[in-house]
Amino acid sequence: MRLYFRLLGYVKPYWRRLLLAMVCMVLVGALAGAAALLVKNVIDDVFTNKDVRMQRLLPMAIVLLYLFKGIFNYGQKYLMSWVEQRVVFDIRNRLYEHLQTLSLGFFNRTSTGVLISHFTNDVGVMQGAVSGVLGDLIREPFTILFLVGVLFYRHWQLALISMLILPFTTTLIVRFGRALRHYSRQAQDKLADISHHLQETITGVRIVKAFGREDYEVDRFHRQNRKFLSHILRSERVVALSGPVMEFIAGLGLALVVWYGGYQVIKGVTTPGTFFSFMTALLMLYGPLRNLSRVSNTIQRALAATERVFRVLDQEPEALDKPGAYPLPPVKKGVEFREVYFRYEDELVLAGVDFEVKAGETVAIVGMSGAGKTTLVNLLPRFYELTSGLIFIDGHDIREVEVRSLRAQMGIVTQDTILFNDTVSNNIAYGKPEADLDEIIRAAQAANAHDFIMAMPEGYETIIGERGIRLSGGERQRIAIARAILRNPPILILDEATSSLDAESEVLVQEALANLMRNRTTFVIAHRLSTVRGADKILVLEGGKIVEQGRHEELLARGGIYSRLYELQFLREEERLALESLESRDGSGH
């Protein structure tokens, strides 16, 4: 119940509408009780005593009773639906806002498909718990209270007999609910696995087709779907069983009432009107009791979904502004890493990293895969929080400044260029949405992107597709560079920005990067060492430590790790050029 009360906490801002809905529910319950009371008058006064006056008045009373009951029923249903939709709206917003505060580590651990499942499936299941459940939890107890009042008013001995079934029904509701919650949680976990599989195979459809693995992926999907079906059928079995069992127990109670009540009518102890009024109230009582049983099932399903959503909401954001955090002033001096350590889960990724970069300098970070290069630059915008040590920008500890102001002074261009299914102009202006078209065009020109943009069907208003699928790799990179140029950040991070490009595209991208890097403090990660020869400082990482640092010529002269890496790449490049030359000669007939 603690979990459910936490969910109901989202209802609190709308308590006025909820209170008005409760008033309508109380009146609906009272009118239901009044309908049961009228049965005695109809039978005894009209059919037994043949009272003409009551024969005229009672039909009008019944019409008015059901008219007002319908009005109040409409009011409570609409108000509860309004509250429900607002609560679900708030939960989705809260979940998305919270996701934006979480570190990259969380997204590395959690698949995209699972996160999407939280928004589509889990929140939808929670919606049922807020709407119908909340309405039933408030309305049905009032209705039951009035109807039970009618039972005891008409015949307290029969009322006590009918109450004998309540302990059995309560026990069954609890047991069915526990089983349903267990199976629902398993089913929702499997549905999240299906979402993850869909996300992977749809985004990776080219690889699936290229390697002819369609049948394998279909079989894998079938297995996951079969597991989901198995769990969902178990939960449906519980739901299907709960109804008949509850009806059978209710039938036992009803049989006892008919046996004892009929005996009293035959003996003349009570009138037929009293008995049928009692029976009407008892039969009307079955509906609310059945609804509460259904509510229990819905709550258990909803709690399984709520657990999954709150598990995300309970994730602590790492990069939070500390109390007293202040905006980072414009960068003028430079960046310093001082004894920086970073551990990802149980793995030590960076160990005692020390270096300084002056404003306007370019520092290149090189090393074998897994050396910690990308992790190092990801610490600067606080995508991850360092384990120990300090990072300063112009003498300001980056953990003491506002995160938004810190990231506002950085531009990032990576190998895996992220573009959105929007216009070219909106993608370029993503980091500076207030920019006008002239500023966007100047940024595109500096990034060598203006010409190919103007050759597109609608120029800067062309929709480029999901992740920029309608553009080539080099064009996507130049759009990303234009985005960084427009933002005009003092600190620039280039992570493999020119890898995987053909020679012509690389030349254009390198020219665009030269324009971007001018007068900026730049961190460059590159596997191709030929691209970092002009750097003011080169850091060589191995095992999370800086093992060498200096300029290109100095590091070559030392004959250390950098020199060996460079010579190895140089030999590979010569072999590649020689092979291309040989293929060219063979193609020309020589």
Is the pLDDT at 581 greater than 80, yes or no?
no
Query: Hey, what amino acid is at 263?
Result: Y
Is the pLDDT at 543 greater than 80, yes or no?
yes
The whole-angstrom separation of Cα 105 and Cα 123 is 24
CB 265 within 8 Å of CB 271 = yes
Is the pLDDT at 45 greater than 60, yes or no?
yes
Is the pLDDT at 340 greater than 80, yes or no?
yes
- The rounded percent of the chain whose pLDDT value lies above 90 is 2
Is the pLDDT at 189 greater than 60, yes or no?
yes
Per DSSP, the residues of 370-434 read TSSHHHHHHHTTTSS--SEEEEEETTEETTTB-HHHHHHTEEEEESS----SSBHHHHHGGG-TT
Across residues 182-206, what is the average pLDDT? Answer: 73
Q: Report residue 458's pLDDT band, with 50, 70 and 90 as the boundaries.
A: confident
Give the DSSP H or E segment for 87: helix 52-101
Helix runs in 102-213, H state only: 104-109, 112-117, 123-128, 134-154, 156-162, 166-203, 205-210
The whole-angstrom separation of Cα 296 and Cα 293 is 5
**Phi/psi at 393 (nearest 5 deg)?**
-120, 115
Q: Report residue 135's pLDDT band, with 50, 70 and 90 as the boundaries.
A: low
Q: Work out the mean pLDDT of the chain and round it to a whole number.
A: 78
The whole-angstrom separation of Cα 335 and Cα 518 is 17
CB 250 within 8 Å of CB 301 = no
CB 127 within 8 Å of CB 95 = no
Domains of the chain, first to last: 2-87+97-313 (1.20.1560.10), 328-403+537-590 (3.40.50.300)
Across residues 321-340, what is the average pLDDT? Answer: 88
Which among 475, 443, 441 has a CA at the least distance from the CA of 461?
441
CB 460 within 8 Å of CB 441 = yes
The structure tokens listed for 198 are 């869909």
Q: pLDDT for 405-429, tens place per residue?
A: 888 888 888 777 778 888 889 888 8
Helix axes 15-41, 272-313, angle to 10 degrees: 160
Is the pLDDT at 168 greater than 80, yes or no?
no
pLDDT reported for residue 392: 92
The structure tokens listed for 95 are 């979940």
pLDDT reported for residue 589: 46
pLDDT reported for residue 506: 64
pLDDT reported for residue 586: 54
Is the Cα torsion angle 82, 88, 94, 97 positive or negative in sign? Answer: negative
CB 95 within 8 Å of CB 313 = yes
pLDDT reported for residue 450: 87
CB 376 within 8 Å of CB 448 = no
Across residues 13-39, what is the average pLDDT? Answer: 80
Is the pLDDT at 430 greater than 80, yes or no?
yes
Is the pLDDT at 278 greater than 50, yes or no?
yes
